[in-house]
């Protein structure tokens, strides 16, 4: 339930970071200004005793986040892929959050499976292991089907996880409201809309039937992708709180030592991860939106195995074209075109100076080119980009949140495999291929063909629809004494419809 009582949870969040020592560690890693460190210390110290103790065996940051609950753990998982933002030490600590959280008892998992699937677990599975991975929402067991002997992965939601997430989300809503109230300048970032978007993503992740559907669709989309594989869902052994997939055997993508020992080329793997993500986002408009190291393995032949499809991203074709043109402009260092695309898509208010915006984008993009990636401070780059968006009045685009967030995560994964990777050089062939196929004359012809097909479906009803629309418009706009005749705007509308019909007929000839 939302309300001021959630202020307690926000206070306890700060107090927990202070009590566990995470506040100091995080501020130092983020290179926070001295005045921010002082303010955090002054505000956090009086409430320190209210904070959660957490597991003393864990490092401070991990200890604080695990104590606070699943929503905080999700955020920590994102940061675990960004050593260039939070530092190598904290990023390494946060990798614990990906799949090494404390599990719940196997007996409880079996009870959930039996209740959800209405089966006798020991009869359906000839083997059923202790948890092999445990994350914020669910844990995974390796099992073997009694009927066929095939190995499968059985994912089971944590007990009470739905209520725990709801509690955290309510506190986030309060925090977003307080931020908008206390700092009006942040309203353009739409904190409440961002939390609402996160809520939708999380609630979908809490229904494993939807995850199984996502896995099935993703498998169909990527069936021809070389060097990429995902496990197929077993629908007869999946339900709301249980999901069964084929077992994915491989080395963890985050274990660089094991990858090196097996002879895998980490530079190629890093490039492949980035190119796969871009290909799925641009080509299909449907992509894995939680691509951290804990959700990927490397098979014996070097193929990337992805799993955990609880968070998937979807973007429409128009947005994909805009995103591709922005990336393509950066790759070509055509900052004027990048600025124009932002204005054309409505991302920047029309009353702003496009030339000034292009120069600001140049200051963001130029440091990336011709420089070893290990020398680029992504934290400073993101900070400057934030200043640019604020200066030009850009609002947060909630439809792009997952895309932007996943791009950050994927880049972090790629850099963990190859610290010297240049994201623009790796992205170029994928983006250029998309632009050639989907931006320009070929795309215009396809768009006209699709328009013709849509009009074709409504062809038999088109005369009645036009007549009804024109009569309605005439009655609404004409004076009472002339409602029986067409208004000038009615004739204009009729002309526009005739033009549309003409275009339609022209595409059929």
Q: Mind telling me the catalytic residues?
A: 290
Spatial CA neighbour of 137 closest among 54, 230, 73: 73
* Cβ neighbours around 311 below 10 Å, total: 21
Tokens of 391: 């200066």
- Cβ atoms of 176 and 192 closer than 8 Å: yes
- Cβ atoms of 136 and 101 closer than 8 Å: yes
Write the DSSP assignment of 330-348 as a string of letters.
HHHT-HHHHHHHHHHTTSS
Integer CA distances (angstroms), 29 to 26, 76, 89, 97, 197, in order: 5, 14, 9, 18, 28
Strand partners, 314: 286
CA atoms within 13 A on the CB side of 144: 7
Q: What are phi and psi of 261, to 5 degrees?
A: -65, -30
Separation between Cα atoms, residue 199 and residue 314, nearest integer Å: 16
DSSP 238: -
Conformation bin of residue 170: beta by default, left when phi > 0, alpha when psi is -120 to 50 = alpha
- Cβ atoms of 243 and 212 closer than 8 Å: yes
Separation between Cα atoms, residue 164 and residue 129, nearest integer Å: 26
Rg of the chain in Å (alpha carbons): 27
Spatial CA neighbour of 129 closest among 142, 117, 118, 145: 142
Separation between Cα atoms, residue 458 and residue 497, nearest integer Å: 13
- Cβ atoms of 79 and 180 closer than 8 Å: no
Tokens of 454: 């849509």
């Amino acid at each position: 339930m939302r309300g001021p009582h959630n202020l307690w949870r926000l206070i306890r969040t700060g107090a927990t970071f202070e009590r566990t020592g995470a506040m100091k560690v995080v501020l130092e890693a983020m290179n926070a200004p001295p005045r921010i460190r002082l303010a955090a210390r002054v505000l956090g110290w009086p409430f320190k005793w209210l904070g959660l103790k957490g597991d003393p065996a864990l490092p401070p940051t991990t200890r604080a986040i695990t104590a606070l609950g699943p929503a905080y753990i999700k955020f920590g998982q994102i940061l675990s892929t960004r050593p260039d933002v939070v530092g190598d030490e904290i990023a390494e600590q946060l990798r614990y959050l990906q799949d090494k959280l404390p599990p719940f008892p196997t007996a409880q998992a079996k009870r959930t499976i039996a209740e959800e699937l209405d089966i006798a677990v020991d009869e359906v599975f000839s083997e059923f292991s202790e948890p092999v991975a445990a994350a914020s929402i669910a844990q995974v067991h390796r099992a073997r089907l009694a009927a066929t002997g095939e190995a499968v992965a059985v994912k089971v939601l944590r007990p009470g996880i739905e209520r725990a997430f709801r509690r955290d989300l309510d506190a986030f809503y309060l925090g977003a409201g307080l931020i908008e109230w206390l700092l009006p300048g942040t309203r353009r970032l739409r904190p409440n809309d961002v939390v609402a978007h996160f809520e939708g993503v999380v609630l979908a992740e809490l229904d494993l039937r939807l995850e199984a559907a996502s896995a099935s669709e993703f498998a169909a989309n990527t069936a021809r992708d070389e060097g990429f594989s995902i496990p197929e869902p077993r629908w007869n052994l999946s339900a709301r709180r249980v999901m069964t997939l084929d077992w994915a055997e491989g080395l963890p993508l985050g274990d660089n030592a094991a990858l090196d020992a097996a002879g895998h080329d980490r530079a190629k793997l890093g490039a492949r991860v980035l190119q796969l993500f871009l290909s799925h986002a641009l080509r299909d408009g449907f992509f894995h939106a939680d691509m951290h190291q804990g959700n990927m393995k490397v098979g014996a032949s070097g193929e990337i195995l992805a799993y955990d499809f609880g968070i998937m991203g979807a973007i429409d074709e128009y947005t994909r074209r805009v995103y591709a043109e922005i990336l393509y402009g950066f790759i070509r260092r055509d900052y004027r075109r990048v600025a124009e695309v932002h204005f054309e898509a409505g991302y920047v208010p029309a009353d702003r100076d496009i030339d000034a915006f292009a120069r600001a984008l140049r200051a963001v993009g130029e440091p990336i080119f011709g420089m070893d990636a290990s020398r680029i401070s992504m934290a400073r780059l993101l900070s400057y980009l934030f200043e640019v968006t604020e200066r030009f009045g850009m609002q947060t685009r909630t439809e792009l949140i997952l895309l932007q967030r996943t791009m950050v995560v994927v880049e972090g994964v790629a850099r963990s495999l190859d610290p010297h990777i240049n994201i623009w050089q790796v992205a170029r062939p994928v983006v250029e291929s998309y632009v050639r196929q989907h931006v320009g004359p070929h795309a215009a012809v396809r768009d006209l063909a699709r328009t013709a097909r849509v009009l074709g479906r409504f062809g038999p009803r088109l005369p009645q629809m036009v007549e009804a629309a024109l009569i309605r418009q005439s009655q609404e706009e004409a004076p009472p004494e002339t409602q029986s005749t067409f208004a000038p705007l009615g004739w204009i509308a009729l002309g526009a419809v005739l033009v549309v019909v003409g275009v339609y007929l022209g595409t059929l000839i």
